[in-house]
């Protein structure tokens, strides 16, 4: 791939990362406010797992008062905020690549933040899942309230991916520092 083509592709991916970060937060809220949209997205395989888990216990608009729906939107958005943070740094990483700074400290730093966001997303999903399900069932009669804890293989893979990217980011930081040091000698 030529440097010009790589810069153009990086710019496109930067733009896509920004759009994706904003879209996931808006879609999550829409799935809580418009249950038919959530049902359609689940059939198409496009839903958010945390939201789907909680909505399996209720119909968000008929079973919950609006304050509880708002709380559900907030709780289900917390892991997505971590993902959005990672996508914003992925955007910055692609913008760095578009400028031709492939092995810079900035690129390594952005990659490290993407890695931390992936780990944070998995951890926050694990923490928020039982809280969200408890939140949406708290007005149910005694004996019908639910506390559900889940650890999925996808979450474990996300942590592994995050840890791997973190190691790669540290390697790139050291390589960048060595390259800068070598340039001073030349």
Whose CA is closest to 29, among 82, 64, 71, 88? 71
pLDDT attached to residue 172: 93
Average confidence score pLDDT of the chain: 87
Question: pLDDT by residue (tens digit) across 79-102?
Answer: 999 999 999 999 999 999 999 888
In this structure, of 66-75, 126-135, 144-153, the range with the lowest mean pLDDT score is: 144-153
Helix (H, G, I), strand (E, B) or coil at 41: helix
Which percentage of the chain shows pLDDT scores above 90? Answer: 51
Range from 43-52, 107-116, 150-159 that averages highest in pLDDT: 107-116
| Stated pTM of the model | 0.84
* pLDDT top residue among 160 and 1: 160
Q: What percent of the chain has pLDDT over 70?
A: 90
DSSP line for the chain? --HHHHHHHHHHHHHHHHHHHHHHHHHHHHHHH-HHHHHHHHHHT-S-HHHHHHHTS--TTTTS-HHHHHHHHHHHHHHHHHHHHHHHHHHHHHHHHHTT-TT-HHHHHHHHHHHHHHHHHHHHHHHHHHHHHHHHHTTSPTT---------HHHHHHHHHHHHHHHHHHHHHHHHHHHHHHHHH-
Query: Which of 1-5, 27-31, 32-36, 180-184 is predicted most confidently?
Result: 27-31
- Is the pLDDT at 42 greater than 80? The verdict is no
Burial of 31 (0-12, 13-18, 19+ CB in 10 A): buried
């Amino acid at each position: 791939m030529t440097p010009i083509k790589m810069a153009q592709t990086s710019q496109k991916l930067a733009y896509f990362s920004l759009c994706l970060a904003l879209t996931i937060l808006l879609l999550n809220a829409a799935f809580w406010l418009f249950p038919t949209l959530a049902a359609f997205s689940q059939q198409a395989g496009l839903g958010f797992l945390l939201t789907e888990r909680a909505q399996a216990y209720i119909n968000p608009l008929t079973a919950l008062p609006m304050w509880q729906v708002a709380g559900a939107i907030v709780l289900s958005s917390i892991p997505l905020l971590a993902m959005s943070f990672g996508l914003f740094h992925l955007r910055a990483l692609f913008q760095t690549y578009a400028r031709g700074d492939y092995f810079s400290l900035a690129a390594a730093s952005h990659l490290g933040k993407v890695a931390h966001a992936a780990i944070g997303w998995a951890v926050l999903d694990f923490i928020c899942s039982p809280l969200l399900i408890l939140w949406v069932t708290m007005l149910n009669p005694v004996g019908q309230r639910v506390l559900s804890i889940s650890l999925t293989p996808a979450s474990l893979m996300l942590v592994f991916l995050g840890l791997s990217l973190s190691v790669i980011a540290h390697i790139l930081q050291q390589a960048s520092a060595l390259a800068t040091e070598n340039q001073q000698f030349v």
